[in-house]
Amino acid sequence: MGKLNKQASILALICLLGVPSSYAISVQPLFTSATTVEMTDMPAFKFVGTAKMKWLWFEVYEAILRTPTGVYQVDQWPLSLDLTYKRNLSAEQLIQSTIEDWQRQKISYSADWTAKLKLIWPDIASQDQLILYVDDKSISHFFFNNQFIGSINDPLFSPAFTAIWLSTNTIKPAQRNQLIGINP
């Protein structure tokens, strides 16, 4: 064995000694796209409004908007948008619907955003809850059934994503008004 190969082998063995044995011999990755991380609880925000979103005659989800003051102001953070689903939807359907809304509203979006959403969002079953929490730095954090599932650390994502529901150009203006507390 050459001197370089021998040194590399010794270094690899030393590194393996520092790793718990179950990981050293395992072919399983330490983290997968299904790995979740616990975070501290989201702040207790005040209710702004709620709306049921329907497609044709099917109820798809109920949305609830919350802010620290109980009042919605355009592109003011923090806020939370809670979506409780009434139907089964795949993560791919959610992402495709998001892209279509951005395109319809002529919102520029990043391929990085959709790639990250593919890693974060799970498939949805009836009664599952997906929560978007936008912090005061405009960072978007997602929770699935009260478990943290990932963040998008791009301040441009938050206004683009919340525009789907909260923009004056939304596809459902009556539901927007209910969410922001204009017509409860």
State residue 184's pLDDT score.
Answer: 58
Q: Clarify whether residues 54 and 13 are in a common domain.
A: no
Q: Clarify whether residues 71 and 109 are in a common domain.
A: yes
- Model confidence over 98-116: pLDDT tens digits? 999 999 999 999 999 999 9
Q: Clarify whether residues 20 and 111 are in a common domain.
A: no
For 132, the 3-state DSSP assignment is: strand
State residue 100's pLDDT score.
Answer: 96
Mean pLDDT of 137-142: 96
Measured CA to CA, the distance from residue 20 to residue 116 in angstroms comes to 30
Mean pLDDT of 138-166: 96
User: And the tokens for 81?
Assistant: 């948008």
Q: What is the secondary structure of the chain as a DSSP string?
A: --HHHHHHHHHHHHHHHTS-HHHHS--S-S--TT-----PPPP-PEEEEEEEEEETTEEEEEEEEEESSS---TT-S-EEEEEEESS-B-HHHHHHHHHHHHHHTT----HHHHHHHHHHPPPB-TT-EEEEEE-TT--EEEEETTEEEEEE--TTHHHHHHHHHHSTT-S-HHHHHHHTTS--
State residue 67's pLDDT score.
Answer: 97
20-29, 124-133, 170-179: which range is least confident on average? Answer: 20-29
- Model confidence over 53-78: pLDDT tens digits? 887 778 999 999 999 999 999 999 99
CATH number at residue 113: 3.50.70.10
Q: Clarify whether residues 91 and 122 are in a common domain.
A: yes
- Model confidence over 76-102: pLDDT tens digits? 999 999 999 999 999 999 999 999 999
- The domain tally of the chain equals 2
Q: Clarify whether residues 163 and 72 are in a common domain.
A: yes
State residue 42's pLDDT score.
Answer: 63
Query: Is 39 inside any structural domain?
Result: no
**pLDDT of 29 higher than 90:** no
Q: Clarify whether residues 50 and 125 are in a common domain.
A: yes
Q: Clarify whether residues 73 and 129 are in a common domain.
A: yes
The boundaries of the domain holding residue 166 are: 46-179
Q: Clarify whether residues 15 and 54 are in a common domain.
A: no
Q: Clarify whether residues 76 and 140 are in a common domain.
A: yes
Query: Is 35 inside any structural domain?
Result: no
pTM of the full structure: 0.76
**pLDDT of 32 higher than 80:** no
